[in-house]
Amino acid sequence: MMADKKVLQVNMVAADHPVWSGTATSVTIPGTEGQMGILPDHEPLLSIIKGGTVSVVDPSGERHSFEVADGFISFDSNKLTIAVERGRDVVRTSGAD
């Protein structure tokens, strides 16, 4: 295992299908109090999330964005579970921000 970059394991699921699974260096979620960032070694957390965009940065630095409906997250021991009513990958065209 490489010691130079800490990662967390992410598993994002919608009610009827898996959305995304993999490792990440950071995840930003739409919390009820605003955007919430989660990094490796974050304290254990159970939180409700609202509809919005979940942003995952993978170990190569690539950002993945997902539109999600209401749900919740659970984080413990560098494992993040994001369970949402609906979720889909956001397809970005070049030049769009």
Residue spans of the domains in the chain: they are: 8-89
This prediction has a pTM of 0.86
pLDDT at 1 over 60: no
The region of weakest confidence among 1-10, 13-22, 41-50, 57-66 is 1-10
Consecutive H or E run containing 43: none
Q: How far is CA 55 from CA 1, 2, 3, 4, 17, in A?
A: 25, 24, 24, 22, 18
Give the whole-number percent of the chain exceeding pLDDT 70: 89
- Superfamily of domain 8-89, CATH level 4: F0F1 ATP synthase delta/epsilon subunit, N-terminal (2.60.15.10)
Closest CA to 6 of 26, 30, 33, 25: 25
Tell me the average pLDDT across 72-95: 86
- Give which of 21, 26, 22 is closest to 6, Cα–Cα: 26
Confidence category of residue 92, pLDDT binned at 50, 70, 90: low
Band the pLDDT of 95: cuts 50, 70, 90: very low
